Amino acid sequence: MGVKLYGHPMSSCTVRVMACLYEKGVEFELVPVNMFAGEQKMPDFLAKNPFGKIPVLEDGDLTIFESRAITEYISKKYHAPATDDLLRSDSPEESIAVRVWVEVESHHFQPAMSPIIFQHFVAPLQGKAPDQAIIDDHLAKLAGVLDVYEARLGKTKYLAGDFFSLADLHHFPYMFYLMKTPWAAAVTDRPRVKAWWEGMCGREAFKKVAEGMKFEK
Amino acid sequence: MGVKLYGHPMSSCTVRVMACLYEKGVEFELVPVNMFAGEQKMPDFLAKNPFGKIPVLEDGDLTIFESRAITEYISKKYHAPATDDLLRSDSPEESIAVRVWVEVESHHFQPAMSPIIFQHFVAPLQGKAPDQAIIDDHLAKLAGVLDVYEARLGKTKYLAGDFFSLADLHHFPYMFYLMKTPWAAAVTDRPRVKAWWEGMCGREAFKKVAEGMKFEK
């Protein structure tokens, strides 16, 4: 039994996991879950993830949900010497730095970014007008977060240090979508954040996953 | 140089780390940060954590922020055979289960709970009336999360398995505060969640940390 990923190539959390699978060169089958038909709330899917969210990874007998737990699992289990160690497990200092910046993405970047992407791309698909007040409020929060990143990236090449890690990878989906909005200047006005982002865009794994990232029903 | 924790015994994130330090029997100095005076936004503190949030842990030359990164660091570095291995590092299956439920706390439990605790306890300290609409909205979200926990705890004694782990520990501060609100029934109406919570309350580390958990200026 191979690796199966239940998800959707448009979903940010699915993309996060796909980027990691491509980085590690893991062959997998993407099993599409039709979010618009609510398949993730059906009993079959709830048996895999009781929270009714994509993605879910199945690897043999193991079923894992929560995208950031899945990427950690993949990074550990499928680490191959020819690929970057995304967790920096050999160094206690580097591995804790990765953990800190993984948490920063979860608790600062994602809460600022997610409502912007939702309002701009998802609300219209649901027949609703984007709420500009919500967007503006979160753009202000995002600016604060990216100011910290700009300073940080003056000291280290990537967020956790001079190495690409899971902390950078986790940012890929929301960064990619932000660049398709009218507010890409949040990135391009900050030279180090811009260079960090452009460097990430050059990675083969990200090019591959970007192909499916189109908001449409 | 010993372990220094910059924070406040009332802050949920500080409490999360203190509970972990007590669990592992680590001696530490709590360096108080006056949140109401905005000390966490002053240059001295921003040099430790550029996001201006407590807590921050200093251990020798190492400075770590983000409470859930700090607890992972403590659990790894200060693991003593006489204490529970909060990460279950010896078992790939158990350690990934811990990671999944740590993520659940971060991305489901905490976003539902945090606005309830903020509105009920913190808003009045800031001279504002609690917003009952926000509380009600998040109580409904919390009910959905705790329904999943109730089902889960019918299969395993703790969230990640039949062992106490970081995934359980991370819930302590918000659970403790919820029980002091008029909405404790969210817990007591769910027999397995109630038993899980009462079991945790019996832990010496939690009894110790609970002593300082009073919302007051």
Q: Per the structure block, which two tokens stand in for B216?
A: 């007051």
- pLDDT value at B11 more than 90: yes
Closest residue in chain B to residue A145, using alpha carbons only: B51
Query: What are the pLDDT digits (tens) for B32-61?
Result: 999 889 999 999 999 999 999 999 999 999
Asked if A169 and A16 touch (Cβ cutoff 8 Å), the reply is yes
- pLDDT value at A181 more than 70: yes
Confidence of residue A212 (pLDDT cuts 50, 70, 90): confident
CB contact under 8 Å between A108 and B51, yes or no, is: yes
Closest residue in chain B to residue A148, using alpha carbons only: B50
Lowest pLDDT segment from A51-65, A119-133, A202-216, B198-212: A202-216
pLDDT at residue number A1: 65
Average pLDDT estimate for A58-86? 94
The DSSP-derived string for A189-213 is TSHHHHHHHHHHHTSHHHHHHHTT-
Give kind and range of the element (H or E) at residue A137.
Answer: helix A132-152
Closest residue in chain B to residue A95, using alpha carbons only: B73
- In a mutagenesis test of the B interface, which of A103, A105, A152, A155 is the best target, namely the one with the most B β-carbons within 10 Å? A103
Other Cβ atoms less than 10 A from the Cβ of B212: the count is 14
**Residues 6 or more apart whose Cβ sits within 8 Å of residue B76:** A92, B87, B89
- In a mutagenesis test of the A interface, which of B91, B99, B150, B193 is the best target, namely the one with the most A β-carbons within 10 Å? B99
Size of chain B in residues: 217
Average pLDDT estimate for A172-176? 97
Mean pLDDT rounded to a whole number for chain B: 95
**Burial class (CB within 10 angstroms; exposed 0-12, middle 13-18, buried 19+) of A182:** exposed
- pLDDT value at A217 more than 80: no
Instruction: Count interface pairs A-B at CB distance under 8 A.
Output: 60
pLDDT at residue number B217: 62
Asked if A38 and B140 touch (Cβ cutoff 8 Å), the reply is no
- pLDDT value at A41 more than 80: yes
Distance between A111 CA and the closest CA of chain B, angstroms: 10
Choose the closest CB to B66 out of A51, A69, A103.
Answer: A103
Phi-psi region for residue A127, left (φ > 0), alpha (ψ -120 to 50) or beta? left
Confidence of residue A214 (pLDDT cuts 50, 70, 90): confident
CB contact under 8 Å between B73 and A103, yes or no, is: no
Position of tokens 């905490």?
B110
Query: What are the pLDDT digits (tens) for B164-188?
Result: 999 999 999 999 999 999 999 999 9
End-to-end CA distance of chain B: 31
pLDDT at residue number A80: 83
CATH 3.30.70.1730 fits A3-83, yes or no: no
Asked if B192 and B154 touch (Cβ cutoff 8 Å), the reply is yes
CATH 3.30.10.20 fits B92-207, yes or no: no
pLDDT at residue number A97: 98
- pLDDT value at B190 more than 70: yes
Measured CB to CB, residues of chain B less than 8 Å from chain A are 50-51, 62, 64-66, 68-69, 72-73, 76-77, 92-93, 96, 99-100, 102-104, 106-108, 148, 151-152
Lowest pLDDT segment from A77-81, A148-152, B66-70, B156-160: A77-81
Mean pLDDT rounded to a whole number for chain A: 95
Other Cβ atoms less than 10 A from the Cβ of B216: the count is 6
Query: What are the pLDDT digits (tens) for B63-98?
Result: 999 999 999 999 999 988 888 899 999 999 999 999
Bridge pairing between strands B28-32 and A62-65: unpaired
Using the Cα atoms of residue A200, residue A206, residue A211 and residue A217 in order, give the sign of their dihedral. negative
Asked if A166 and A87 touch (Cβ cutoff 8 Å), the reply is yes
Other Cβ atoms less than 10 A from the Cβ of B203: the count is 18
pLDDT at residue number A213: 86
Average pLDDT estimate for A18-22? 97
Query: Which residues in A lie closer than 8 A to residue B96 (C-beta atoms)?
Result: 62, 64, 69, 72-73
Q: Where are the alpha helices (DSSP H) in A1-131?
A: 12-23, 43-46, 67-77, 92-104, 110-117, 123-125
Q: Which CATH architecture has domain A92-208?
A: Up-down Bundle (1.20)
Confidence of residue A83 (pLDDT cuts 50, 70, 90): confident
The CA distance from B116 to B28, in Å, is 31
Asked if A11 and A20 touch (Cβ cutoff 8 Å), the reply is no
Distance between B39 CA and the closest CA of chain A, angstroms: 18
CB contact under 8 Å between A64 and B104, yes or no, is: no
Q: What share of chain A is helix, strand, coil (3-state, %, to 5)?
A: 55, 10, 35
Average pLDDT estimate for A11-40? 95
- Return the domain boundaries, chain B: 3-83, 92-207
Query: What are the pLDDT digits (tens) for B103-144?
Result: 999 999 999 999 999 999 999 988 999 999 999 999 999 999
**Residues 6 or more apart whose Cβ sits within 8 Å of residue B59:** B1, B3, B4, B73, B77
- pLDDT value at A188 more than 90: yes
Distance between B176 CA and the closest CA of chain A, angstroms: 21
